[in-house]
Amino acid sequence: MRRDDTITRLRGLLAQRLGMTFDDTRDPQLAEILHARATQHGLSGRGYLDRLGTAWSNELAALAEAVTINETYFFRNVEQFNVLAEVVLPERVRARSAERVLRLLSVGCSTGEEAYTLAMVTAERVDPRWDVSITGLDVNRGALRVAAAGRYSRWSLRETPAAAQHRWFRTVAEGVEIDERLRGRVRFLEYNAANDDPLLFAPDTYDVVFCRNLLMYLTPATAAALVARTTRALAPGGYLFLGHTDTLGSRPPALTVQHSHGTFYYQKGVRHQQPPEPRPAQPVRRRVHHQPRQRDHVLHLVQEERFGDALAALDGIGTAEADRPDVMLVRGAVLAHLGDTGRAAAVCRRLLDRDALNPDAHHLLAECLEGDGETATALEHHRMAAHLDAGFAMPRLRLGLIARRRGDLGTAERELDRAVTLLRHESDERILLFGGGFGRGALIALCHAELAAAR
């Protein structure tokens, strides 16, 4: 069996047994892991893979430990914990006032920093007489051992507020140790996301679930199943937090997208007071009988980079058609191409007044804000666009480029990798409107060049 074939087979087994997916860039690492694990058991690569396909649970756990990444720290993405403290916990305390019970879940808890951060925030915000419990789940047994021990290097505290450090940690020889009062509130369990657990994910159990930066490592089927069982396990009105790279789209089943404190999250069974009309994720060319091809004509002019003519053509469209969201979006894009970012941004804001969940309008507004030097606000709208449409490549590209300029190479690599994958399937119209004059191949090449510089 050729080496490439063994890696392909290993990737297939990881998908089948652990629900994990790995792109081609991980092949050298997987090859090293396969060689090391097979050698430890005195097996060839083929023999190891043959045995791994059986009920070899201990080795499956060891392999999971070898292939998973455990880089995390306390209060990571602090804006989500600010939402937890200032929005979520006050609401859930009101909802649970009769039972005085709160249940929180950390899926993919790694070495435990996230679960303990949940415990810190709830301890600060919830009456100590309440029954509060936090459960951390992970497939990596080594990470769970670290979590249970509750000992960390000081580097893990790099984003932890000084008051929390003083209250919840004590100094030990190796670094710091979690206060026993917190450790008593948190339990850690081994859990394989490829499997259901009807007891662990019993309906209406959890007030808050954090499942951050895990879905991107899972196969689409495994990720979808995990989201479904997590949604099932949320109590009515409960909250789900995902990582910045994870999205369920603008209208996931049984969940509503929420946005505050500069971050996105989901709530079960709660709808906006005035829900926007359902809208496709990408613009649809709806034509009226008296002007069947006006928008197509404008897009043709954009393709030829005749932006002045395109704007004139848009000005000639009748009022009713010009007021359609898909036509307004093209107008905003044409204005942006002409450098009139102020008017383009105004068009985007009108679109968002009608439908706050329009990913294209969020992205175009972000591009305008970038051009005007408002990078922080632009990032917020790029992230919103990416969260609202999981298949939208362009905001991922922009997020990667901004992170690269700022020296945040980890984020840059993650976002640009995602952009490369999505660009292969991005719609021609979005590339035309938002690609800055570059075609699909040129945008992919740009991502590869930026990735090479970041690595």
- Asked whether residue 116 falls in the same domain as residue 263, the answer is yes
Q: Give CA–CA dist 402/418, Å, rounded.
A: 15
**412 within some domain:** yes
- Asked whether residue 180 falls in the same domain as residue 262, the answer is yes
How does pLDDT run across 33-49, given as a tens digit for each residue?
A: 999 999 999 998 889 99
Per the listing, tokens 């083929």 go with 46
Average of per-residue pLDDT across 103-115: 96
How does pLDDT run across 239-264, given as a tens digit for each residue?
A: 999 987 677 866 788 998 888 887 88
Longest dimension (CA), the chain: 79
Q: Binning pLDDT at 50, 70 and 90, where does residue 81 land?
A: very high
372 pLDDT above the threshold of 60:
yes
pLDDT of amino acid 373: 84
How does pLDDT run across 330-362, given as a tens digit for each residue?
A: 999 999 998 899 999 999 999 988 888 889 999
Average of per-residue pLDDT across 284-306: 68
- Asked whether residue 20 falls in the same domain as residue 61, the answer is yes
| Partners of 255 in the β-ladder | 268
152 pLDDT above the threshold of 80:
yes
Of the listed ranges 110-114, 234-238, 310-314, the one predicted with least confidence: 310-314
Structural domain boundaries, residue 239 = 78-268
Q: Binning pLDDT at 50, 70 and 90, where does residue 292 land?
A: very low
pLDDT of amino acid 278: 40
Q: Which two tokens stand for residue 211?
A: 């499942």
Q: Is 239 left (phi over 0), alpha (psi -120 to 50) or beta?
A: beta
- Helices 393-406 and 359-371, packing angle to 10 deg: 30
Element (H, E) at 241: strand 234-242
Number of helices and strands (H, E) in the chain?
22, 10
Q: Binning pLDDT at 50, 70 and 90, where does residue 275 land?
A: very low
**319 within some domain:** yes
Using DSSP's 3-state secondary structure scheme, residue 417 falls into helix
- Asked whether residue 217 falls in the same domain as residue 302, the answer is no
- Asked whether residue 45 falls in the same domain as residue 82, the answer is no
288 pLDDT above the threshold of 50:
no
- Asked whether residue 198 falls in the same domain as residue 342, the answer is no
CA torsion angle 188 209 113 193 (round to 10): 60
Q: Binning pLDDT at 50, 70 and 90, where does residue 237 land?
A: very high
Q: Binning pLDDT at 50, 70 and 90, where does residue 270 land?
A: low
**122 within some domain:** yes
Q: Binning pLDDT at 50, 70 and 90, where does residue 120 land?
A: very high
Of the listed ranges 267-271, 275-279, 436-440, the one predicted with least confidence: 275-279
Phi, psi dihedrals of residue 291, rounded to the nearest 5°: -140, 70
Q: Give CA–CA dist 176/204, Å, rounded.
A: 36
Q: What is the CATH number of the domain that holds 412?
A: 1.25.40.10
pLDDT of amino acid 210: 97
Phi, psi dihedrals of residue 115, rounded to the nearest 5°: -60, -40
pLDDT of amino acid 161: 95
Q: Binning pLDDT at 50, 70 and 90, where does residue 281 land?
A: very low
For 82, half-sphere exposure in the C-beta direction (CA atoms, 13 angstrom radius) is 12
pLDDT of amino acid 129: 94
Per the listing, tokens 């396909």 go with 53
- Asked whether residue 315 falls in the same domain as residue 398, the answer is yes
**102 within some domain:** yes
The top-scoring range by mean pLDDT among 53-57, 348-352, 372-376 is 348-352
Q: Binning pLDDT at 50, 70 and 90, where does residue 72 land?
A: confident
- Asked whether residue 42 falls in the same domain as residue 130, the answer is no
The alpha carbon of 380 is separated from its chain's Cα centroid by a whole number of angstroms, namely 14
| pTM for this predicted structure | 0.68
Using DSSP's 3-state secondary structure scheme, residue 24 falls into helix
| Mean pLDDT of the chain, nearest integer | 87
Average of per-residue pLDDT across 100-115: 96
- Asked whether residue 105 falls in the same domain as residue 191, the answer is yes
- Asked whether residue 49 falls in the same domain as residue 89, the answer is no
Q: Binning pLDDT at 50, 70 and 90, where does residue 137 land?
A: very high
